Amino acid sequence: SVATLPPPLPENLLFRQLFDYQSYTYTYLLADQNTKDAILIDPVLELVNRDVHLIEDHGLTLKYAVNTHCHADHITGTGELKKRLPSCKSVISGSSGAQADVFIKEGDYIHFGNLSLEVAATPGHTNGCVTYVMHHNGRPVIAFTGDALLIRGCGRTDFQEGDPETLYRSVYDKIFSLPDDTLLYPAHDYTGQTVTSVAEEKKFNPRLTKPINEFVEIMKGLNLPYPKAIDKALPANLVCGIVEMPKAKKT
């Protein structure tokens, strides 16, 4: 069994985990309660209204709407958030191939108030997948892993630029190398769980505790159904979730 407690978090951190019942996506609101600067990670288009209300109730200024990667299962709320909250800029990794106001890469920081997230490139589910890591007291305390690592699972590797070997190395090099008690918040969960830790996944992840060759075999043998939202979500997410409707022809 594992025996880890959560590390102390920054005293000025406001943190809210939010969920989309349709695509099983977690959205995260983080803010510096002193300066009121906020960011949203992986917002969902249909839930922008909920998220804007929460931001307003707390008197926050949304600086960035950040994606962990170009999603295939829901349309990002970043474009709509920019319309509703003009302070907001969209952020995604340059290697995602998607449009955004700010492109980030390995080693960059996203600052909001006196808090920040460091970018770790964790490709394998897609080429542009990143993990956002918050530090406190000189050490990592929380990581937002996107679809690279899920609770007792991981993102699929059979579409977009999916590659199981790359994913395995990303998880080992950038996530399992964090301190054991680092809290891990994924982009999805399908079992009703909300959070895990490095120690837990290193010990109990049914796929990633296997040697790399077995992991690759597992991932190649999943035979998952074609993702039902991908044909709608991918084109929209490549342009920040803002899809221009084709203009009706004059007849």
Q: Would you tell me which residues interact with a second copy (CB under 8 A)?
A: 1-5, 11-14, 16-21, 27, 33, 47, 50, 54, 56-60, 191-195, 200, 203-204
**Interaction partner, residue 147 (Fe ion, a second copy, none; CB < 5-8 Å by kind):** Fe ion
Task: Tell me the longest C-alpha to C-alpha distance in the chain.
Answer: 69
Measured CA to CA, the distance from residue 121 to residue 108 in angstroms comes to 10
Measured CA to CA, the distance from residue 33 to residue 247 in angstroms comes to 44
Report in angstroms how near the CB of residue 58 gets to a second copy at its nearest: 6
Report in angstroms how near the CB of residue 87 gets to a second copy at its nearest: 15
Report in angstroms how near the CB of residue 90 gets to a second copy at its nearest: 21
- Tell me whether residue 63 or residue 71 sits nearer to Fe ion (CB atom): 71
Report in angstroms how near the CB of residue 110 gets to Fe ion at its nearest: 19
Cα–Cα distances in Å, from 152 out to 22, 34, 199?
Answer: 21, 35, 12
Q: Is residue 67 within 8 Å of residue 240, measured between CB atoms? A: no
Evaluated on CA atoms 206, 207, 209, 215, the torsion sign reads positive
- Tell me whether residue 195 or residue 238 sits nearer to a second copy (CB atom): 195
- Tell me whether residue 27 or residue 131 sits nearer to a second copy (CB atom): 27
